[in-house]
């Protein structure tokens, strides 16, 4: 729809908001008009929070997680097991794993996965710092928790080979389990997932 804005200021605001991924011009207009109905403090707080974050954002120098301090809260927590590293693609993955309360080690954020189509090679990811960190911090296990996609698998294999080339006999490299998702009905599970769940079956234990 060709939109004729009655105001250049409005048009510019809608333009900027619709630059965000997944936000079309209609949604952008709705959001902007919402802000106009609210008190000005809300718009100012939003703008201020975004610009402050963008200006002052820092990344943990150890794991590359977003952090307000040089070393993030997780890396600097002495109660966490520094000999176990969980390699993830991005910051959201850390949040998802932290929400499970099932992991007490440290993380390593790659910042993406290898994707030749998007021009992302190993050198664009935090892989070098991982291979330096593993021997330095006497890591015993590296858990690869990447997405179960072709790109994720490629990246996992690449990292596995790099870690193996370090020749550390006591280092274990593992991947998170693949199988049927909790509470998903079997009949609706796709073939690849179901096949993999069958192949990876484990002894039954009553719970």
Residues of the shown chain interacting with a copy of itself in the complex, contacts defined by CB under 8 A: 1-10, 12-13, 15-17, 19-23, 27, 29-36, 40, 42-58, 60, 65-68, 72-74, 90-92, 94-96, 98-99
Shortest Cβ 126–a copy of itself spacing (Å): 14
Shortest Cβ 199–a copy of itself spacing (Å): 31
DSSP class of 180: P
Shortest Cβ 82–a copy of itself spacing (Å): 17
Shortest Cβ 195–a copy of itself spacing (Å): 30
User: Would you say 101 or 207 has its CB closer to a copy of itself?
Assistant: 101
Look at the chain and count its residues: 207
Phi, psi of 116, rounded to the nearest 5 degrees: -55, -35
Q: For the chain, what percentages of helix, strand and coil (3-state, to nearest 5) are there?
A: 45, 15, 45
User: Would you say 13 or 127 has its CB closer to a copy of itself?
Assistant: 13
Buried b (16+ CB within 10 A) or exposed e, 27-50: ebbeebeeeeeeeeeeeeeeeeee
């Amino acid at each position: 729809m060709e939109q004729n804005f009655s105001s250049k200021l409005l048009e510019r605001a809608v333009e900027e908001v619709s630059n965000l991924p997944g936000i079309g011009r209609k949604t952008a207009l709705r959001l902007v008009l919402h802000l106009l109905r609210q008190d000005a403090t809300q718009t100012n707080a939003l703008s201020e929070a975004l610009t402050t974050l963008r200006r002052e954002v820092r990344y943990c120098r150890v794991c590359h997680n977003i952090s307000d301090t040089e070393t993030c809260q997780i890396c600097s927590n002495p109660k966490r097991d520094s000999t176990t590293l969980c390699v993830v693609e991005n910051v959201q993955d850390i949040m998802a794993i932290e929400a499970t309360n099932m992991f007490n080690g440290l993380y390593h954020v790659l910042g993406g996965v290898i994707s030749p189509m998007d021009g992302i090679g190993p050198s664009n990811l935090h892989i070098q710092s991982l291979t330096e960190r593993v021997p330095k911090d006497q890591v015993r296990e590296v858990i690869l928790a990447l997405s179960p996609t072709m790109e994720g698998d490629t990246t996992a294999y690449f990292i596995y080979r790099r870690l193996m080339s370090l020749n550390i006999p006591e280092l274990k490299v593992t991947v998170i389990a693949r199988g049927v998702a909790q509470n998903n009905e079997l009949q609706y599970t796709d073939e690849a997932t179901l096949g993999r769940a069958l192949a990876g079956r484990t002894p039954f234990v009553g719970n």
